[in-house]
Amino acid sequence: MLERLKEFASEFFVTGDPLIYGADVAIGITMITIVAVLTYFKKWGWLWRNWLTTVDHKKIGIMYIIASIIMLFRGGVDALMMRLQLAMPNMDFLHPEHYNQVFTTHGTIMILFMAMPFMFGLFNVIVPLQIGARDVAFPFLNALSFWLFFLGAMLFNLSFVIGGSPDAGWLSYPPLSELSHSPGVGQNFYIWGIQISGIGSLATGINFLVTIIKMRAPGMKWMKMPMFTWSVFSTCIIILFAFPILTVTLALLFLDRFGGAHFFTLDMGGNPMMYINLIWMWGHPEVYIVVLPAFGVFSEIVSTFSKKKLFGYKSMVFAMLIISFLSFFTWAHHFFTMGSGADVNAFFAVTTMLIAIPTGVKIFNWLFTMYRGRIRMATPMLWTIAFIPCFIVGGMTGVLLSVAPADFQFHNSYFLIAHFHQVLIGGVVFGYFAGLYYWWPKMFGFQLEEKLGKWAFWTWNIGFYVCFMPQYAVGLMGMTRRLSTYGWDTGWWELNFVSTIGAFLMGVGFLFQVAQIADGIRKYKTLKASGDPWDGRTLEWSIPSPAPEYNFAITPRGDDIDEWWEEKERRAKGIYPPEQPLEPIHMPKNSAIPFIMSVFWFIAGFGFVFGWLWMAILGLAGVGICMIARSFSYDTDYYIPVDEIKRTEASLRGSV
Amino acid sequence: MNKKPRSLTRIIIPVVLTLVTIALIVWPMLAGGQYVVLDPKGPIGASQRDLIVISTILCAIVIVPVLILSAVIVWRYRDKPDNKAAYEPNWAHSTKAEAIWWTVPIVIIGLLAIVTVRYTYDLEPSKPLASEKEPITIQVSSLDWKWLFMYPEQGIATVNTLNIPADRPVKFELTADSPMNSFWIPQLGGQIYTMSGMAMTLYLQADHEGTYFGSGANFTGEHFAQMRFDVNATSDEEFDQWVREVKNQSQPLTQETYNTLAEPGTSNVAYYSSFPEGLFQDIVTKYVIEGTGAHIHGTSEEASGAQDNASTKVDKSAN
C-alpha cells in the first residue's frame, strides 16, 4: 500500500529537480503567508465581498492586471532560465527535457496568461468609463470571464509541480503533442488550462462588443468614440471569430488523446498538417488581438501628451478595421516551409505584406499628431516614443519574413524569434505598460513617481535591444529556435552571451517597476491624484480618481471627439452644463457564482488532465449546478439611493 | 554652484550608456561565426540572399526616413517653455498627407509583392535546378533524433553526415519517421519540412567544395538539439572514391538495424554499405492506411505544377 502510494506520488508530483523543489517551497510559503496575513488582519470578509464576488468592471480589471503581472514574472523567470542555459555552449544548467518544458511554458504564459489578461484588464478598467457607461453589458459574465481565466491559468501553472509541464512548444504541434510522443499529462494541462481560460476570453469579446455597440453615452456616435474604444471594438471582432477555432482545435486534440480519435495522429488517417492550419488560423489573429489595443493605448497617449487632437481619426479607424479583417487571411505564413506549393505561398506572402500598409499608416498618424504639438515626456509618453522605432523595425523584419522563399532561410531560426519578440515586446508589452502608467491614477487614486519609472524604462529598453538584436544576427548564422544547447564550433556563443546579458537587464527593469509600485503604495497618501492628473481629453478623466462605484453620477453626453477636452474648453469660457437632477442608480449585485463555477471548472479540468473521470464529472456537475443556480437567481440588482450618490460625490470631489 | 558638472554628467552618462550598448551589440556580431545565410555557397541560397537584399532595400526606403522623421519630430516639438516651433492643437487632418502615406507604402509593397511572387515560383523547392550535369538523388528521413541519408543510385546510406559532389544539383527526397522536422543547410539554401506520409522534394547545390553546417529546424522533442549533420561537398572523383570506401568498409543497414535506429535516442555518425530496397518508400508510407492511396496529400511539386513528378514514386534502382 505504501509502495503504491510512493509510486503514485513520484508520478503525481514532479521530482528530481532542485529548481522544482525550490518552487514547491516558494509556493508553500507564499500560500501560508497569504492565509496568515488575511487571517491576522481579519480580511477574509473583505476579500470575499470586494474581490472574489465582485462584478464591478473596475475591480475585475485590477484583478486581471495583478494576475498578468504575476504571470509576467513567471514567464520572465522562464526566459532568464533559458537564456542562462544558452549563455555558453554545452551548458548543463537545464537538461533538455526541462529546457523544453521551460520554453513551452514561457511562450504559453506570456501570450495567453500575461498579454491576454493584461489586455482584458485595460479593457475592463477603461472602456465603460470612456463611453460614459456605468458598467459593461454583462457584469456577471465579466466576473465569470475573469475567474475562468484565473483558474485556467492556475491549472496550467500547477503542472510545474504536479504531473509535469507540457513540452511540445507553445502551440503543441502534433504528432509531437499526441499520446504517441507525449504520453504524460503535461499536454493535458496545456489543453485544459487554455480551454477553460478560452471560454473567458470569448465571453469577454462578446461582452465588450455589446457594451460598445449598446451602451455608449447619448450623443456618442461611432465616429466620436475614443480611439482606445475603437481598438477594443476591432479586437473583439477578431476574438469572436478566432477563439472558437482554438476551442475546437484543442477539443479535437483532446479527443485524440483521450477518446482514441485520429484527427491529427500519424496513424489511422490522421493529418497533423490540419492542426497546423487550424491552430494558426487562430494564432495569427491572436497576435493582432493583443496588438490592436496597444495601438489604441498609444493613440490616447500620443494625443494627450502632445496636447493635440489625434491626427487622421477616420484613417485610424479604417486602418484598425482593415487590420482586423486582413488578419484572418495571413495564417499560412507561419508554415511557408511546409511545402504547400508556390500558389498558396504566393497568396499568403502577399496578404501578409498588405497588413504592413494600414499599420504603417497608423505610425504616420501618430507622428503627425506629435508634429506641431507640445510633447510632455511623462512616463506613458516615454514608452510610446520608445515603441515607435522598436515596432517599425520589428514590422520591417516581419515584411522580410513574409517574402516566402526568403522565409525558407528565416523560418524557425533566431531571426524569427527576434522578430516576434520585437513586435510583441515593442508593441504589446510597451503598449500595455504605457496604458498601465497612464491609467494608474484613475485605477488607484494616486500617481506613480517618475524617477523609478525612468530607471525601469531605460533598463527595459537597453535590455531589449541588447537581448534581441544579437538574436537577428545569430539567426542569420543558422541557429534554430528551441535548441536546448549548441556547440563551440558553431561560432554562436558570443551573440548568445550578450543576448543573455540583455535578458537580465530586462529583468532588472521589471524589478525597478516592482520597486516603483511598492514605493508608490507605501507613500500613496503623498501622491494622491485628482480626477484629471494628465489634463486628459476623454470622459474617463471627467470623474474622480479612483472612480466611484457607479462611475458617473449623471450620465454624460459624448457629442464630440475628445469630449472631455471640449467640455473643459467650454467651462474655461464659463459655459457649464445645465444642472441635472440625480436619480437612483441601477447597479448589479455581487455574486459568488462566477468564482465557484470556475473552481468547479478547475476540478473538472484537473480530473480530465489525469484521466480521473469521476473528478471530471463531479466538476462538470458542479458547473451545471452553478448555471442552474444563476438561472433561478432573481435578486441580482439594486439601486443606489440619491442621497448616497450625493454624499459620495461630495466627499470625492470635495477632497480632490 | 554645481551647474556645470551636473549638466556635463547629464550628457556624459547617456552617451556612455549608448556607446556601451552599441558596443555590446556590435562586438559579437563581428567576433563570432559566419553569416551563412548572407554568404551562400550555392545557387538556391544565392537567390534567396538576393531576395533578402532586395526586400531589405525596399523596406529601408520607407523605414529609414520614418526613423529619422520620428527622432526629429520628438526632438522639435518638446514642451519646453522657449520652444518656438509652431503649435497647432486642433490640426488633425490633411488629405494630402494621407494620400502620400497611403500611396507610398502601397507602391513599395506592390513592388515587393511582384518580386516575391516571381521568386516564389522560381524558388519552389521541388523545381529542378538548371544545370548541364545530372542531379544526384539523395533520400532523407528525419528520425528521433538523427538524420538518415540514403543514396539510391549508389546503394549506400549514412547517418548524421552527408557527402555530395560539388557543382552538381542534388535532388533531396524527404520524409520523416518522427514528428515533423525540417531539413536545413543554411549556406546552401532554404529548408523544407519532413513529414511522415509525404515525400517532399528539395533541390540544392553546393557550388564549391567545402564542409557546410546542416541541422533540423523544427522541434521534435527531447534531443532535438542533437540533430546536426555536416555536409561535405567534394569533387566527383572524391565522391566516387568515398562511395567505394563506404561500400567496402561498412556494415549493411538491415531492417533490424533500421528499426533500432528508428527508436528514440541520439546517434553517432554512421556509414552503411547498403540499405533495404524500398526503405524510403516504406518510411513514407509507414502510417498510411492500406489501400487509401500512396499519399495523404500531393507533394509540393504537384501543387505547383512542376514537371518532374518522379519523386512520388521512389527510385527503385538502389542495390
pLDDT greater than 50 at residue B294? no
Measured distance between the N- and C-terminal CA atoms of chain A, rounded to whole angstroms: 67
The span from the CA of A95 to the CA of A167, in Å, is 12
pLDDT greater than 50 at residue B300? no
The count of structural domains within chain A is 1
Are the C-beta atoms of A652 and A546 separated by less than 8 Å? no
Q: Which of B33, B186, B224 sits opposite A409 (nearest CB)?
A: B186
- Which residue would you say has higher pLDDT here, B290 or B190? B190
Domain boundaries defined on chain B: 34-75+96-123, 136-305
| DSSP code, position A426 | I
State the pLDDT at residue B5.
Answer: 54
Domain range enclosing A232: 43-591+636-655
| DSSP code, position A51 | I
- Burial string for B52-83 (b: 16+ CB within 10 Å, else e) reads bebbbebbeebbeebbebbeebbeebebeeee
CB contact under 8 A, A400 and B52: yes
pLDDT greater than 60 at residue B309? no
The span from the CA of A643 to the CA of A582, in Å, is 9
In a domain, A561, yes or no: yes
Residues of A in Cβ contact (< 8 Å) with B125 = 339, 408
Q: Which residues share a beta bridge with A640?
A: A585
Going by pLDDT thresholds of 50, 70 and 90, the confidence category of residue B1 is very low
- Helix, strand or coil for residue B94? coil
Q: Which of B33, B106, B304 sits opposite A491 (nearest CB)?
A: B33
Three-state secondary structure string covering B23-45: HHHHHHHHHCCCCHHHCCCCHHH
- In terms of DSSP H, where are the helices of A41-138? 44-47, 57-86, 96-108, 116-130
Q: Which residues share a beta bridge with B204?
A: B170
CATH number at A528 reads 1.20.210.10
Kindly report the number of other CB atoms within 10 A of residue B154's CB atom: 21
Kindly report the number of other CB atoms within 10 A of residue A645's CB atom: 19
In a domain, A11, yes or no: no
Using CA coordinates, name the residue in chain B closest to A413.
B217
- Burial string for A596-616 (b: 16+ CB within 10 Å, else e) reads bbbbbbbbbbbbbbbeeeebb
Q: CB within 8 A of B1, min separation 6: which ones?
A: none
pLDDT, tens only, B142-198: 999 999 999 999 999 999 999 999 999 999 999 999 999 999 999 999 999 999 999
- Helix, strand or coil for residue A292? helix
Residues of A in Cβ contact (< 8 Å) with B188 = none
Measured distance between the N- and C-terminal CA atoms of chain B, rounded to whole angstroms: 92
In a domain, A516, yes or no: yes
- Helix, strand or coil for residue B272? strand
Q: Which of B25, B111, B211 should be substituted to probe chain A, the one whose Cβ sees the most A Cβ atoms within 10 Å?
A: B25
CB contact under 8 A, B73 and A174: no
Q: Which of A96, A272, A364 sits opposite B225 (nearest CB)?
A: A96
This complex has an ipTM of 0.93
Q: CB within 8 A of A441, min separation 6: which ones?
A: A447, A529, A533, A534, A545
Mean predicted lDDT score pLDDT of chain B: 88
Q: Which of B192, B197, B297 sits opposite A337 (nearest CB)?
A: B192
Where does B136-305 sit in CATH, by number? 2.60.40.420
Are the C-beta atoms of A268 and A262 separated by less than 8 Å? yes
Residues of B in Cβ contact (< 8 Å) with A393 = 63, 67
Nearest 5°: phi and psi at A112?
-90, -30
Q: Which of A167, A339, A342 sits opposite B192 (nearest CB)?
A: A339
pLDDT, tens only, A432-469: 999 999 999 999 999 998 999 999 999 999 999 999 99
Q: Which residues share a beta bridge with B183?
A: B192, B216
Are the C-beta atoms of B92 and A312 separated by less than 8 Å? yes
CB contact under 8 A, B195 and A353: no
State the pLDDT at residue B147.
Answer: 97
CB contact under 8 A, B59 and A361: no
CB contact under 8 A, A486 and B225: yes
| DSSP code, position A178 | S
In a domain, A35, yes or no: no
- Which residue would you say has higher pLDDT here, B214 or B11? B214
Nearest 5°: phi and psi at A57?
-60, -30
In a domain, A599, yes or no: no
**Helical (H) or strand (E) element with A19:** helix A18-40
Going by pLDDT thresholds of 50, 70 and 90, the confidence category of residue B64 is very high
The span from the CA of B44 to the CA of B189, in Å, is 5
Using CA coordinates, name the residue in chain B closest to A378.
B79
Are the C-beta atoms of A107 and A169 separated by less than 8 Å? yes
State the pLDDT at residue B158.
Answer: 97
Nearest 5°: phi and psi at A113?
-115, 0
CA angle B41, B43, B46 (to 5 degrees): 70
In a domain, A435, yes or no: yes
Are the C-beta atoms of B211 and B232 separated by less than 8 Å? yes
CB contact under 8 A, B180 and A478: no
The span from the CA of B18 to the CA of B25, in Å, is 11
Distance from the Cα of A364 to chain B's closest Cα (Å) equals: 7
pLDDT, tens only, B247-277: 999 999 999 999 999 999 999 999 999 999 9
The span from the CA of A104 to the CA of A184, in Å, is 15
- In terms of DSSP H, where are the helices of chain B? 3-31, 43-76, 95-122, 236-249, 255-262, 279-284, 300-304
Which residue type sits at A567? E
Q: Which of B221, B204, B220 is nearest to B212 (CA)?
A: B204
Are the C-beta atoms of A295 and A303 separated by less than 8 Å? no
The span from the CA of A186 to the CA of A374, in Å, is 53
In a domain, A8, yes or no: no
CB contact under 8 A, A411 and B213: no
Are the C-beta atoms of B48 and A337 separated by less than 8 Å? no
Using CA coordinates, name the residue in chain B closest to A271.
B296
pLDDT, tens only, B87-131: 999 999 999 999 999 999 999 999 999 999 999 999 999 999 989
Residues of A in Cβ contact (< 8 Å) with B112 = 353, 399, 403
CA angle A591, A152, A241 (to 5 degrees): 90
CB contact under 8 A, A307 and B70: no
Are the C-beta atoms of A326 and A356 separated by less than 8 Å? no
The span from the CA of A54 to the CA of B165, in Å, is 72
**Low-confidence spans in chain A with pLDDT less than 50:** 655-656
Q: CB within 8 A of A126, min separation 6: which ones?
A: A61, A228, A435, A439, A442, A540
Residues of B in Cβ contact (< 8 Å) with A86 = none
Cα dihedral B80, B86, B92, B95 sign: negative
Kindly report the number of other CB atoms within 10 A of residue B225's CB atom: 21
The span from the CA of B136 to the CA of B138, in Å, is 7
Residues of B in Cβ contact (< 8 Å) with A318 = none
Using CA coordinates, name the residue in chain B closest to A402.
B116
Distances (CA, A) of A16 to A10, B27, B207: 9, 39, 50
| DSSP code, position A590 | P
Q: Which of B38, B97, B217 sits opposite A412 (nearest CB)?
A: B217
CA dihedral (A310, A315, A320, A321) in degrees, to 10, reads 140
pLDDT greater than 70 at residue B307? no
Length of chain B equals 319
Distance from the Cα of A465 to chain B's closest Cα (Å) equals: 8
Going by pLDDT thresholds of 50, 70 and 90, the confidence category of residue B21 is confident
A–B CB contacts, 8 A cutoff, strictly below: 318
